[in-house]
A and B are shown apart, each in its own frame.
Chain A
Amino acid sequence: MGLAGTKIKQRFGNDPRNTKWSNDTSRFGHSYLEKLGWKPGKGLGLVEHATTTHIKVSLKDDNVGLGARLAKKQKKDDLEEGDSVHLDVFQRILGRLNGKEDKINNELDRQRKEKIMGKLGIHFIKGEVLQSTWDKESKSITASDSSKKSKKRKLEDDGDNDEDVKRSKKDKKSKKDKKEKKVTKEKKEKKDKKEKKVKKDKTEKKEKKEKKEKKEKKEKKSKKDKSESDLQPVVTEHRAISTRLAVRSRWIKQKRASVMDEKALNEIFMVTN
């Protein structure tokens, strides 16, 4: 939240976790369980996975959505850091120096659009399709990807190759279809592989995943443009939602527009051609 966030003062007592109670082994409960053969530090029951502590839940007193913690971790990736308007200008320059201008340009444009649209409506990326997990024939749990595979094959026949994504409101509908198919096609392949692995061996899962992710991360960025389904935010909706966010977004938009404008930028940096 930073400095602008509301300050919440919280006072803790001397022993908020009541360790006095839990460290006292002469209590009736403790001695009784020990009498029955329980050993401190162990769980109860006959199974091995028995829990040894109670469930701990952190108190949620805001409306932040799921995944905020993940987002924080990722921030070290500077392309992802869209918040600072000035930085992406340098990204462009750096990108040119590295010879990846187009890629970075596209990514920045995409981010800019997303930022603006994101404030007004909500984007969604298509994920898996949930289907009945029971296979009629074999009467067993189908590893939910068999159904997807057949679908995927069908989709590949359609094979459409429009690489660049421009959002024009007119052909929204037809676009939507195409894109969704694409998403399924491309995302699925990865996921299928992944899922299978996950199911097969859980222990190996983590390592492999990490490796994969690293690889993926590079590719993902370019792919992201395509993989966007637009359950479309209608621009006019922005009037309908007269929240504080909307006002702010307009302000940001203006600010950003001025920076994006080459002339304006040149003026800012006092560059004369």
Chain B
Amino acid sequence: MSEERSLKKQKVSDESTAEIVAEAAEEALRLHPHPQVDDTLVHHDNGEFAKFKRHQTTAYDAESLENNTINPFTGNEFSNQYFKILKGRRDLPVHAQRNEFLKVFQSTQIMVFVGETGSGKTTQIPQFVLFDDLPHLTGSQVACTQPRRVAAMSVAARVADELDVELGQEVGYSIRFENKTSNKTILKYMTDGMLLREAMEDHDLKRYSVIILDEAHERTLATDILMGLLKQVSIRRPDLKIIIMSATLDAEKFQKYFNDAPLLAVPGRTHPVEIYYTPEFQRDYLDAAIRTVLQIHATEDEGDILLFLTGEEEIEDACRKISLECDELIREQDCGPVDVYPLYGSLPPHQQQKIFNPAPQKLRPNGRPGRKIIISTNIAETSLTIDGIVYVVDPGFSKQKVYNPRIRVESLLVSPISKASAQQRAGRAGRTRPGKCFRLYTEEAFKKELIEQSYPEILRSNLASTVLELKKLGIDDLVHFDFMDPPAPETMMRALEELNYLQCLSDEGDLTALGRLSSQFPLDPMLAVMLIGSPAFNCSEEILSIVSLISVPSVFVRPASARKRADECKMQFAHPDGDHVTLLNVYEQFQSDDALQIGLHQWCRDNFLSYRSLTTAKSVRSQLRRIMEKFDLELNSTSREDDIRKALAAGFFMQVAKKKSGSKGYLTIKDNQEVLIHPSTVLAKDPEWVIYNEFVLTSKNYIRTVTAVNPEWLVELAPKYYNLEHFNKGDVKLSLERVIDSVETKKRVEDSKDKKKSKKKA
């Protein structure tokens, strides 16, 4: 009797709480499915296109409709604004080759289209396609993917204007936290990630008749997977047309990958850029960059300067130095006035907008002209286009993500850029008129030290969520999936193992209920599993907040001028157990009436918190909450901090470090890396066992955002991971043995208590 019971218990503990929750949720959904949303497409058709034969139209046909007074897609009259825009559109380089494009497009299933920046490909090609593919007559849609959310939104808005339709109706966009489309939509701009999500539900993407992958040269993770996927889908669906759009470089690679697909190229509107190298290497590229900028300002003609640096700190520092030195130049050398603007991802939008301000006016009527100096990370390399740049200063470095599967660290490291990037940077100087690019390295270094192409993201990332997505896409043979650049085997193994420990993949490698549910969350699988499991600990509301807060940039602001005060403010929120609960405190205070009364902006400023991060976290949270509701996951709340920490441990059990006995520092479990707790922690003492959110790679290895945990939880919650057989002899193993012993004694005691009780009852 007792044996049976303990066996049963053993079996239950094999399945994690999250897995049980997921199975229950799946079962519930199967029994009570959500009401089907009616998403059949309704399109306008008044016979405007009656004369058109699908896939046989010419540019002349389309233009005659465009020149008409009635909008063929809505039946409304065109506005005056429309004709104004139309005139500009006809001047774009792509327009000259509309007929050629149509010929290639009609003759093949997959084509590669190459257009330099400024050719108008992103806005015009999808419209060319509309007039030839006529999706509204076949009840289908045209999709155009963008790597970035902002681009998808702004391009959709622009194209809606060009077609004289309302954004969200015939032309719409779909991005992670926003879907602005309707059942009238025929052209849909979306992030590549969103199309991938749609493919998880509909493996053949039946809703689309044409799919355009834009900015393919950026080789984002999602675009790479999509290309592999579309290559397969194109065989299953011969009616589906695919266009791969890219900037100049690498075009041949795409052609080759898609079985020698035909290529069409359109020139951009760029001016020549003279490139300069230094005669010898620079001992300090930052110093050299600043001096070059000053030198350009002092000696070169009018025109704005763009300087590429690697990160926020470096940029702010350079901004300060350049402003100071320029003031001196103006005083002593009678140079023109200067505005210096920083530009990086985490900068608030209104400050990012400043880069579009015009250059400052001359100080005197015949004084030297003013100049705008923009100091940017590599977001100005592709994503943002600033007109008026004539001089580019390029030290040749950028921060790039790399992933090391052996020690499981994904980090942003400063490393040399690629030749392709360097050319892209130089090209930024030739947008408005002939420009100059100053490279702070020798020509020899350019040739010998830089790699040809930047590594695609798939080679630089943790693939846990990608593998989950691939599995969800129905791709089981991960070894023979046709990656354009296959990832390293060890990276793939790590991803598989992580998913296996998280019980998203079974030991046979099949997707489990938990895996299927996790893939619904736009989160790292580890965080998704933690979230799904949290209702069992009565704290899903709290875990929701914590997960949202760690998926946005840091909420704590620490300006160089007021470090001490910022740290003091942070301590107000501190929780003795660690940083995760501290984050939760911040969020709860942010939502409190007190903060509202003071005004959220003011409150954030007073407390050295980032308003932007907190509001983003809030919107991420509500998005995640909606997904939880959709899958009937219970939302509950607790006042016991231990529950929260247990729930955290259930997710973070693979990111644990143990204090080293007898010396400072910690050792990560299993991977045995020596680490220190990052000084930003609120932990006053060094606890024996901690979970961590991030492993930061610098000359010292730090773990950041840490919370103390009880090792007994780890052993109970993830027995498979803490299987002693997988540990080397040593300190960690010894203490784990002790922990497991004590857990088992406790169990025995409880069991015997149970027995006594049942005996009494009997």
Chain A positions within 8 Å of B, measured between CB atoms, are 8, 10-22, 27-30, 32-33, 35-38, 40, 42-47, 50-55, 57-61, 63-71, 114, 118, 121-136, 139-141, 147, 224, 228-229, 231-234, 236-237, 239-241, 243, 245
Contacts and interface: CB of A to CB of B under 8 A. Distances in A.
A134 B287 CA distance: 37
13 contacts: A19-B406, A29-B496, A32-B493, A33-B479, A33-B493, A44-B479, A55-B403, A60-B413, A65-B441, A66-B449, A122-B288, A123-B279, A130-B275
Contacts of A14: 672
Interface in B487-508: 487-497, 500, 507
B672 A15 contact: yes
B445 interface: yes
Given A44-B489, A67-B444, A130-B427, A13 B274 contact: no
Nearest to A131: B272
A64 B395 CA distance: 10
B288 A16 contact: no
Contact of B445 (A20, A27, A70): A70
A5 to B, nearest CB: 12
A140 B264 CA distance: 8
Given A32-B509, A54-B406, 11 more contacts: A21-B671, A36-B477, A51-B485, A63-B285, A66-B449, A124-B278, A124-B279, A134-B267, A135-B267, A236-B333, A243-B287
Contacts of A128: 275
Contacts of B268: 132, 134
A141 B248 contact: yes
A121 B299 CA distance: 11
Nearest to A60: B414
A124 B438 contact: yes
Contact of B291 (A10, A53, A121, A134): A121
A37 B479 contact: yes
Contacts of B221: none
Contacts of A67: 280-281, 441-442, 444-445, 449
B50 to A, nearest CB: 34
Contacts of A18: 406-407, 671-673
B294 A43 contact: no
B276 interface: yes
Contact of A55 (B294, B439, B450, B460): B460
B395 to A, nearest CB: 7
A134 B116 contact: yes
A132 B493 contact: no
A30 B491 CA distance: 11
B697 interface: yes
Nearest to A12: B674
B291 A132 contact: no
Name which of A29, A65, A147 has the most chain B CB atoms within 10 A of its CB: A65
The prevalent SS among residues of B at the interface is mixed
Given A10-B699, A66-B396, A133 B248 contact: yes
A141 B298 CA distance: 38
Nearest to A37: B479
Interface in B250-278: 251, 264-268, 270, 272-278
B39 interface: no
Contact of A132 (B116, B288, B449, B698): B116
Interface of B: 114, 116, 248, 251, 264-268, 270, 272-288, 291-292, 294-296, 298-300, 325, 328-329, 332-333, 395-397, 400, 402-407, 413-416, 423, 426-427, 430, 437-446, 448-450, 455, 459-460, 477-497, 500, 507, 509, 667, 670-674, 697-700, 728
Contacts of A118: 280
B486 A50 contact: yes
Contacts of A125: 276-279, 443
B281 to A, nearest CB: 4
B698 A122 contact: no
Contacts, number: 286
Contacts of B285: 63-66
B104 to A, nearest CB: 11
Given A29-B496, A54-B404, A70 B673 contact: no
A174 B388 CA distance: 26
* Nearest 4 A/B pairs, CB to CB: A29-B493, A67-B445, A45-B486, A65-B282
A45 B427 contact: no
B440 A66 contact: yes
A57 B291 CA distance: 28
Nearest to B325: A240
Contacts of A21: 406, 670-671
Nearest to A184: B274
Contacts of A29: 492-497, 500
A30 B404 contact: no
Nearest to A42: B489
A132 B93 CA distance: 13
B429 to A, nearest CB: 8
A66 B480 contact: no
Contact of A66 (B397, B477, B500, B673): B397
Contacts of B496: 28-29, 32-33
Contacts of B395: 65-66
B295 A130 contact: no
B292 A122 contact: yes
Given A16-B673, A18-B673, A33-B489, A71 B281 contact: yes
A264 B723 CA distance: 78
B400 A57 contact: yes
Nearest to A64: B283
Contacts of B273: 129-131
A127 B405 contact: no
Contact of B672 (A20, A46, A224, A239): A20
A53 to B, nearest CB: 6
A233 B295 contact: yes
B726 to A, nearest CB: 8
Nearest to B496: A29
A30 to B, nearest CB: 6
Nearest to A26: B726
A22 B406 contact: yes
Given A51-B487, A53-B490, A231-B276, A240 B445 contact: no
B489 A43 contact: yes
Contacts of B445: 66-67, 70
A52 B284 CA distance: 35
A135 B265 CA distance: 9
B459 to A, nearest CB: 6
Contacts of B414: 60
